[in-house]
């Protein structure tokens, strides 16, 4: 039998872990001039820490102690000399309260061409409420900036991070491979415009686990070029659901495939499991998608395929979607719909949906079986259903 670890050993390991923050290879932004007062710009301190960590040939850490640190804007550029840089954030990074300061920038915090970066803990406060108010008033406002973006990066791990009140999207992954998000929390008002929680496009091997997303747009939006995406144990609401799309905005567009969404709860959302494409020509596609073990609580459109998306009726009226959708399975989906039609497949006349499978779907509206609606959709229905299937 192995000898049990003593209390002395556990205590020693704990002390050594804390002392590691002071050894070479760990860069404390306080020691580099940052001020935890929420007012003094700490951008230079944060970027100095990044320059040192990125230039190190050994694994490195950047430490943000407790406190509020104002960061006007920061761009973390690679490639670096090592592939193991950890941000340990015990405090809060705060964006400018004046939305005009960065409202026309693509990102507030952005990583480009990095490999092996991890973020542990912390709060990112995008302070987007001012911009939301501007947009609601109908004034001429900036588009807004995304809180955190990773572009052309690999082997990214984010755990325990909270994103608050982003001006625009909260987290964006574009052109990335092997990304794991766990225990992420996204929070913005239900009426905040275009504040998608997590957006993924042109990326492969992204995993989103054990997260809670409350926002004014899609909880997770899945753009073109996304492959091998796994989403599990996510609470979504308020928001617009988990959406593949919108796709087909461009004619030359990569497809979406091998997507799994399981054990997700949608609460008071506009949509649940959604696939959306523009009603105009495109070479894109959607295939090999599984929505499994989902709970719907007062969701307006629990299951939706909309291939006639045409905002403001511009550049798409009287056209049909070129996106080909096939092999999409909805398995063990249950709960309540806020509308009479809980399942709606509005597919392309030119490229009808095929291989759609409804398995063990039980959705009710006002304590009665909900209805389904199909246009240009073909597939199968299996299991005990609380709905009248139109397939």
Cα–Cα distance between 167 and 125 in angstroms, integer? 10
Residue 17: per-residue pLDDT: 37
Q: Are residues 224 and 165 in the same domain?
A: no
Q: How many CB atoms lie within 10 A of CB 191?
A: 10
Same domain assignment for residues 254 and 149: no
**Are the C-beta atoms of residues 147 and 173 closer than 8 Å to each other?**
no
pLDDT attached to residue 386: 75
pLDDT in tens, 93-129: 999 999 999 999 999 999 999 999 999 999 999 999 9
Of the candidates 101, 104, 152, 151, the residue with the CA atom closest to the CA atom of residue 127: 101
Confidence at 18, pLDDT banded by 50, 70, 90: very low
Nearest partner of 188 among 207, 171, 172, 209, judged by Cα: 171
| pLDDT, the chain, mean | 93
Q: How far apart are CA 21 and CA 25, in angstroms?
A: 8
Mean pLDDT of 4-19: 36
Q: Is 230 found in the same domain as 165?
A: no
Q: Are residues 153 and 224 in the same domain?
A: no
- Residue 24, pLDDT score: 57
pLDDT, tens only, 202-211: 999 999 999 9
Average pLDDT value for residue range 146-152 = 98
Question: Is pLDDT above 90 for 348?
Answer: yes
Query: Known catalytic residue: 240?
Result: yes
> Which residue, of 106, 134, 169, is where some domain finishes?
169
SS3 at position 21:
helix
Residue 5 included in any domain: no
| Residue-level pLDDT at 136 | 96
Q: Which of 199, 240, 293, 334 is catalytic?
A: 240
Q: What are the angstrom distances between the C-alpha of 49 and each of 44, 52, 58, 85, 382?
A: 9, 5, 14, 11, 56
What confidence tens digit (pLDDT) does each residue in 252-306 have? 999 999 999 999 999 999 999 999 999 999 999 999 999 999 999 999 999 999 9
Q: How far apart are the first and last CA of the chain?
A: 60
Residue among 148, 44, 64 nearest 102 (CA):
148
Question: Are 165 and 223 found together in one domain?
Answer: no
Per-residue pLDDT band at 54 (split at 50, 70, 90): very high
Are 162 and 227 in a shared domain?
A: no
**Residue-level pLDDT at 174:** 98
The parent domain of residue 248 ranges over 218-390
SS (H, E, C) 232-289: EEEEECCCCCEEEEEECCCCCCCCEEEEEEEEEEEECCCEEEEEEEECCCCCCEEEEE
In angstroms, the CA 159 to CA 147 distance is 16
289 within domain boundaries: yes
Q: Is 242 in the same domain as 118?
A: no
Q: How far apart are CA 352 and CA 326, in angstroms?
A: 9
Residues 223 and 368 in one domain: yes
Q: What percent of the chain has pLDDT over 90?
A: 90
163 touches 148 (CB < 8 A): yes
More confident residue, 202 or 19: 202
- Shared domain for 72 and 147, answered yes or no, is yes
> What does pTM read for this prediction?
0.93
Residues 273 and 383 in one domain: yes
The pLDDT tens digits for 236-261 are: 999 999 999 999 999 999 999 999 99
**Same-domain pairing of 382 and 314:** yes
């Amino acid at each position: 039998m192995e000898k049990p670890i003593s209390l002395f050993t556990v205590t020693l390991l704990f002390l050594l872990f804390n002392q590691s923050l002071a050894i070479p290879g760990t860069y404390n932004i306080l020691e580099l001039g940052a001020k935890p007062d929420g007012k003094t710009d700490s951008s230079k301190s944060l970027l100095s820490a990044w320059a040192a960590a990125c230039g190190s040939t050994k694994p490195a850490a950047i430490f943000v102690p407790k406190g509020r640190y104002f960061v006007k804007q920061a761009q973390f550029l690679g490639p670096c000399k090592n592939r193991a840089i950890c941000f340990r954030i015990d405090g809060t990074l705060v964006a400018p309260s004046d939305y005009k300061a960065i409202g026309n920038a693509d990102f507030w915090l952005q990583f480009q061409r990095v490999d092996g970066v991890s973020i542990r803990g912390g709060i990112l406060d995008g302070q987007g409420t001012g911009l939301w108010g501007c947009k609601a008033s109908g004034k001429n406002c900036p588009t807004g900036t995304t809180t955190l973006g990773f572009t052309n990066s690999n082997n990214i791990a984010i755990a325990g991070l909270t994103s608050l009140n982003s001006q625009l999207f909260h987290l964006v992954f574009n052109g990335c491979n092997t990304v794991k998000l766990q225990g992420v929390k996204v929070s913005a008002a239900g009426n905040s415009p275009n504040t998608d929680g997590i957006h993924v496009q042109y990326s492969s091997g992204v995993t989103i686990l054990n997260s809670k997303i409350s926002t004014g747009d899609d909880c997770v939006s899945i753009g073109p070029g996304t492959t091998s995406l796994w989403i599990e144990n996510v609470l979504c609401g308020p928001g617009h659901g988990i959406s593949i799309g919108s796709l087909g905005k461009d004619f030359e567009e990569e497809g979406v495939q091998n997507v799994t969404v399981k054990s997700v709860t949608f609460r008071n959302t506009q949509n649940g499991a959604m696939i959306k494409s523009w009603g105009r020509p495109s070479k894109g596609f959607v295939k090999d998608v599984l929505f499994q073990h989902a709970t719907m609580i007062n969701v307006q459109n629990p299951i939706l395929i909309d291939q006639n998306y045409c905002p403001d009726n511009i550049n798409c009226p009287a056209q049909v979607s070129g996106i080909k959708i096939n092999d999409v399975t909805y398995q063990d989906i249950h709960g309540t719909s806020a509308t009479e039609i809980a399942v709606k497949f509005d597919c392309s006349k030119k490229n009808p949906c095929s291989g759609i499978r409804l398995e063990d779907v039980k959705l009710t509206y006002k304590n009665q079986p909900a209805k389904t609606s199909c246009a240009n959709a073909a597939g199968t229905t299996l299991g005990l259903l609380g709905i009248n299937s139109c397939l």
